[in-house]
Structure 1
Amino acid sequence: MRAQKCHPGRFALWGLVFMGVVVSGNMAFGQPRPEWRPLGPLPGDAMLSRYFEHEVAILRDNCLSEIKTRADWEQRCEEYRRQLREMLGLDPWPAKSDLKVTITGTIDRDDFRVEKLYYQSLPGLYVTANLYLPKNVTERVPAVLYLCGHSQVKVDNVSYGNKTHYHFHAVWFARHGYACLVLDSLQLGEIEGIHHGTYRYGMWWWNNRGYTPAGVEAWNCVRAIDYLQSRPEIDPERIGVTGRSGGGAYSWWIAAIDPRVKVAVPVAGITDLQNHVVDGCVEGHCDCMYFVNTYRWDFPMVAALVAPRPLLIVNGDHDPIFPEDGVRRVYETARKIYRLYDAEDKIGIFVTKAAHDDIQPIQEAAFRWIDRHLLGKEREVYDPVEKVFTPQELKVLEEIPEDQLNTTIHEHFVPAAPIVFPENAAQWLELKTRWMNLLREKCFRGWPSNMPPPAWNNAKEAEADGIRLARAELSVQDQIALPVYCLSAAEGTPRRIDMELLDENDWNRWLSSLKVRFSEILSQDLVTDEEKGLQGSEEAWQNVKSQLTSSPGTLLILLLPRGIGPTAWNSDAKKRTQIERRFMLIGQTSDGMRVFDIIRAIQAVRRQNTWKGLTLTIKAQGRFGVLACYASVFEPVDKLILTEIPATHRNGPYILNISRVMEVPQAVLLAADRNRVEVKTQMMEDYQALVAAARRLGWSEDKLKVSPTQ
C-alpha cells in the first residue's frame, strides 16, 4: 500500500497510521544502505563474515518461532520480560530506595510551567530532569516520558544535559494538555557518566559483568514512572513514552519491561541483528543501544513485549544507522503477536523521507499516535514544535553532588559474584553444580548444540631433520575451520600428547622456528605482511628439534583458536572493537567461542583411532590458560599446565557474564575437580585461598599444584 504525497499536517495521510501501514514519501527500499567498511581483507575476516551471517540467520529464524497461539505467548511472555530485565542487569530488580526528589527551580509561561528537578534512582545515582506541566486544567492529565538522544549540550565545558536540546518536544506536549518529564541520559546529562565502555574505552570487562548502560537508562525510566505516578496532577493510568535515537532505544526498554507504559512511540531506535551485525550498523552505535544478549534474541522480541499496548515505530527511509529494511522486519515480526490479540490496529509503522533527522512529519506522527491513545482524540492540525528556552534556563544543578555515582555506576550497577570457596565436600558439590549450570546457561549459551563429530580435513605432511610436521584443518563449527599442527619425531610411535594453545605472540614464536624447515607447508597460513616477512631463526628451530628429540614418544599439537594466526581478523584497533561488539550482539564473545574451539580439538584428539589411550596434556599461558580451564571443565583431559594466568577476569579473558558467576581461581578449582592441574605463577598470593580450599577437600598436590614460575 502506498500513501499519496500530501502536506504532513493533513488528515488524509494520518488516517493510515492507525492501520499500521503508513509511509510518507518513498515506500520502496530504494535508498542506499550505509557503506560500512567490510571487516577486513584477511581470510579470517571473510570466515568471520560468513560466520556472523550464519549465526544471525539462526537467531532470526528462531525469533518467536515457537509462538503459534495467544496461549503460547501468554505462557512465555513474563519469562521473556524477566530475561530482558536480566540482560539489562535488572534481575533481580534493584531495591527501590527513596527518590529524594529535589526541585531546584521553576519557570513560568502563560500556558505551562517547568520544574527543574533531580531524583536518585539509586542512592547516589542522580537523574537530572525537567517536568513540564500544563496550566489551566482542572483534571488529572496524561503524562509522557520523553527520552533524549545523543545530543551534547556544553558551554565552557559545563554540561547542561541533552534534555535542553530536546526541550521543544516537551513544550509541545505541555501546551497540548500533557505533563512531560524529560530525562537527561547517563552520558550526556549534567553529571557525565559513560556510555562508551566497549565502544571507545576498551572496558571489555563490561561483558564479563553483564553490564550495559542500557540497563541504567531503563532503571532511570522505571523510577521516572514511579515519580510521575506520585504527582497529584498526573493520571497514573495514562503514561506514555517516546524519544528518538538513543531515546528511541530507551523507549523500547521501558515499554517492554514496564507494563505501566500504556503507549509507546520509539523513533529511530531499533532495527534487527541483520542490520547491526551483518550490515555493520553496530559501528554507528554506542553501548547504551544494546542489552547483553545472553538469551540470544533478535530485536523483534523486544517489540513483541509491548503487545497488545499501542506501539508506533517511526523511522526515516534512509537512516544510516537504522536502515528501513531492518526496521520493517522488526515491525512485521512483532505484528504477529499483535495479531494473536486481534490488535493489529494497536501497532503501526511510520516511515518518511528522512535520514536520521528530527523533522516535523516524524514529530507529528508521534504526537498524533499519543493523542489517540492517551487523550482519545486527534487534532485536525498539528502546529510545529518550538524552542523557547536556552540551556542555561533549564539547568538543574548548581554543582555536582559529592556523593554522585554516575561517573562510576558501571562499577556498581551489576554486582560481581562473591569470591567463595568450599569449606567441605558437601558444600563443594553444591557449589560446582550451581557453577556448571550457570556456565551453561549464562556464559556459554552461544555454543552450538547437536554438532557432528569434529573432522580433520586437508591433511599435509612433511619431514625435516628427523622431525615430522603434519598440518590439518579442524572443522569446529559451521563456517569455522582452524589449522592444527602436529609435530613429532619422524621415527617412533606417539606415547603421549601435549597440546599447546597459541596466542598471537606464541604463533609468531613458533613461525620463527618452523619457517626454517617447513616454509612450503606453512605458506598458505602466512596471511599478514608481518608473518610473510618474518625471518626464520635457526636457533629457534634447533630448540624445537631438541625439545622433541629429548622427549621421545611425545606428539606435540599446536592449536590456534579462531582469530589467531591463519584465521586472524582485521588488526585495526577500531575494527577489532566492532568485531568484538558483534560477538556480544549474538550472545557470544570471541574468547567464549575459543573455549568451544578447545573443546572440539580435545574431542577430535580423543576420536583419533591411532591416539586412543594416550595421555593428553594441555599447556597454555596467560589468558589462554584460563580458556583451557573452562574447556577442560566440559571436556576433561589428563593434565593442565597453566603458566602466568591472570587471577581475575578484569583484563581478560572476556566471557559473557562470567564475573557474575566466578573468578579465575574458582575456575581453576572447578577444572581441578576433573583434571590434574598445575599452575605456575609469580603471584602465589593470588592462589592461597584456592590451595587452602583444595586442602580442605583432601586433594593431593598431584591433583592441584600451585608453584612459583622458575
Structure 2
Amino acid sequence: MQDGLPPFHPLLRDELRFPLAWGTSPIRDFGAWRRAARATVEEHLLAAPDHGTPYDPEFGGERSEADGYTRELVHVSLTRYGRVSGALLTPHGTGPFPAVLLLHDHGSRFDIGKEKCVRPWYGGEPRLASARQWAGQCFGGRFVGDELARRGYVVLALDALGWGERGPVTYEQQQALASNLYLLGSSPAGLMAREDVRAAAFLAGLERVDRRRVAALGFSMGGYRAWQTAALSDDIAAAASVCWMTGLREALVPGNNILRGQSAYWMLHPGLSRHLDFPDVASIAAPRPMLFFHGARDTLASSEGVRAAYGKMRAVWRSQRAEERLLTKVWPEAGHVFDVPMQDEVFAWFDAVL
C-alpha cells in the first residue's frame, strides 16, 4: 500500500474506457444518447426518485425587505424523508422573473449551508458571522444570492443533508453517514442529486418565476451539483459551474482530494465510472448553455484534468453545432475561489443566455 492505494490502482485507472460517452457509444442519435446516458446516471444514484411527494411549501418565514428584493424562508418537502429549509429571494417588481437555483459548496464547513450563498437575516449574530467569514474567504466578501436578487433574479438556496439546519455533521462523521446510507441501498451523492433535481422543478413551478429561464449556479461542490442538475433536469435552461470539473483519470493520482474519502462521498456514484466520465455526465445537458470556470492556481484539480474535460465537452457541443453555447475559461491568477470578477462575468453571461 502507498498513500492508502493498492499497487494495482494504476491498472484499474487505465482500464477506465467510459464506453457510453458521446462519440464512443454505439448510439449515434444525440437525443437517444442523452436518454440512455441520463438513465445510466440515474440507475447509479442508488437513491430512488421521488415524484409523488407533494412539495407542500410554507412561505413567508422570517420575511424581510432588502435593497430591491424580498427575503423569506421557505420550507419544502423535496423527498418523503423530511422538510428542507431554504432562503428564497424575490426581486421587487412585476414577474415572472428569471431564476437561479444556487447550490452551496462543501468546504468542510457544515454549520452553514444556504448561508454560504445568501446573507442570513435570521438566526442571530453567530450565523451571520460564519456566513461573512465564508463570503470573505471564497466570494470576495459578496453574497452571491443577494447580488443576483438585486439584479432581478429569483434565488433559491437550500441546505443539503449534513449542512446548516440539516446538520451539522463533523468532517469525520461523513464516512459513517455514507456507510449507513450505502447499507440502506442509498448514497449521500445520490440523495443530493435527487434533491437538487426536485429543487429545480420546485423553483421552476413558482408563479413568480419564468420557468423557461431557470439556471443552476454553484462553486466547488456546488459547481459539481450545478452541472449534474443540468444533466438530470429539463427544468434547468442554463448552468454555471465554478471550480469543479476534471477528467476522472487525471484526478486519480495520489494526494488528490477525491481519493481521500470524506468529502468525496458527496460526489461519488458507485459504478458510474464504468460507463461515463465527469464531462460525459455534464454533456447530457448539451446543447443548452453551460459555463465552466477554473482557477489556474486551484490545487484541487490539475490543469491536465481540466483541459481534458473541457476538450471533451467542447467536442460534444461542437457535434451539435452549438459550440458558442459552451463557455470554458481558466483564470490565470485565481485559486479555488469564486471572486467578484468571476461573479460579474457569470452574471453578465446569465443576462445574455437567459
Query: Compared with structure 1, are the counterparts of its residues 118 and 143 closer, same or farther at alpha carbon in structure 2 (3 Å cutoff)?
Result: same
Aligned length: 324
Alignment of 1:549-698 (within 5 A): none
> Residues 108 and 344 from structure 1, CA distance in 2 versus in 1: closer, same or farther, beyond 3 angstroms?
same
How does 1:83-122 map onto structure 2 within 5 Å?
83-90=40-47, 93-103=49-59, 104-122=61-79
Q: CA deviation at 1:366?
A: 1.9
1:142 and 2:98 matched = yes
Change (3 A) 1:258 1:324: same
Partner of 2:352: 372
| Partner residue, 2:186 | 211
1:318 matched to 2:269? The reply is no
Q: How far apart in 2 are the matches of 1:342 and 1:69?
A: 20
The structure number with the bigger radius of gyration is 1
Partner of 2:128: none
CA, structure 1 residues 258+193, in 2 after alignment: closer, same or farther (shift >3 Å)?
A: farther
Partner residue of 2:270 out of 270, 292, 304: 292
The Cα offsets for residues 654-697 of structure 1, whole Å up to 9 and x where unpaired, read as xxxxxxxxxxxxxxxxxxxxxxxxxxxxxxxxxxxxxxxxxxxx
* In structure 1, distance between residues paired with 2:76 and 2:326: 33
1:357 corresponds to = 337
Deviation (angstroms), 1:144: 0.4
Alignment equivalent of 1:257, drawn from 228, 232, 244: 232
CA change 1:184–1:371 in 2 (3 A) is: same
CA 1:205–1:372: 2 relative to 1, 3 Å: same
- Distance, in Å, in 2 between the alignment partners of 1:259 and 1:114 is 27
Residue 304 (structure 2) pairs with residue 304 (structure 1): no
Whether the 8 Å CA contact 1:97–1:123 is kept in 2: the answer is yes
Q: Is the 8 Å Cα contact of residues 219 and 241 (structure 2) preserved in structure 1?
A: yes
Residues 111-135 of structure 1: CA deviation (Å, up to 9, x unaligned): 1111111111123422211111111
**Tell me, what secondary structure is at the counterpart of 1:355?**
coil
Equivalence map 1:201-240=2 (5 Å): 201=176, 204=179, 206-207=181-182, 210-240=185-215
Between the aligned partners of 2:28 and 2:350, the Cα distance in structure 1 is 29
Deviations 1:281-335 (A, max 9, x none): 3145331122222461221211211100011111111212122221221111122
Compute the RMSD of aligned alpha carbons. 2.8
Gaps of 5+ in 2: 119-142
- 1:264, CA displacement in angstroms? 0.6
Distance 1:338 1:131 in 2: 33
Q: Is the 8 A contact 1:308 1:343 kept in 2?
A: yes
Equivalent AA in structure 2 for residue 39 of structure 1:
D
Tell me how far apart the structure 1 counterparts of residues 344 and 27 of structure 2 sit (CA, whole Å).
33
Equivalent residue for 2:148? 173
Comparing both chains, which one has the higher relative contact order based on Cα–Cα distances under 8 Å and sequence gaps of 6 or more?
Answer: 2
Per the TM alignment, residue 198 of structure 1 is displaced from its structure 2 partner at its CA by 8.7
Counterpart residue type for residue 360 of structure 1: V
Provide, for residues 172-220 of structure 1, a one-character-per-residue CA deviation record: whole Å limited to 9, x for no partner: 1111111111111211121216697896338546555553212222222
Mapping of 1:155-170 within 5 angstroms?
159=111, 161-167=112-118, 168-170=143-145
Shift of 1:76: 2.2
Rounded Cα–Cα distance in structure 1 between residues aligned with 2:212 and 2:178: 40
SS of residue paired to 1:291: coil
Q: Is the contact made by 2:224 and 2:244 (CA closer than 8 Å) also made in structure 1?
A: yes
Q: How many Å separate the matches in 1 of 2:318 and 2:26?
A: 10
**Residues 304 and 271 (structure 1), Cα distance of their counterparts in 2 relative to 1, 3 Å cut:** same
Tell me what 2:136 maps to. none
* Amino acid of the structure 2 residue aligned with 1:351: V
Conserved? CA contact 1:69–1:340, under 8 Å: no
Instruction: For 1:429-440, list aligned pairs within 5 A.
Output: none
- Matched residues, percent identical? 26
- The 1:225/1:63 distance shift into structure 2, 3 A limit, reads closer
1:469 aligns with none
Q: Deviations over 1:241-268 (max 9, x none)?
A: 0011121111122111102111011111
Deviation at 1:75, TM superposition (A): 2.4
**In the aligned structure 2, how far is the partner of 1:90 from the partner of 1:328?**
32
1:132 aligns with 2:111: no
Deviation per residue, 1:36-88 (Å, 9 max, x gap) = x9526xxxx5xx34x33233233256462654899443322201101111212
Equivalent position of 1:39 in the other structure: 3
* Deviations 1:391-438, CA, capped at 9 Å, x for gaps: xxxxxxxxxxxxxxxxxxxxxxxxxxxxxxxxxxxxxxxxxxxxxxxx
The range that moved more, 61-70 or 361-370, is 61-70
Segment of structure 1 superposing worse, 195-204 or 254-263: 195-204
Which structure 1 segments of 5+ residues have no match?
1-36, 375-710
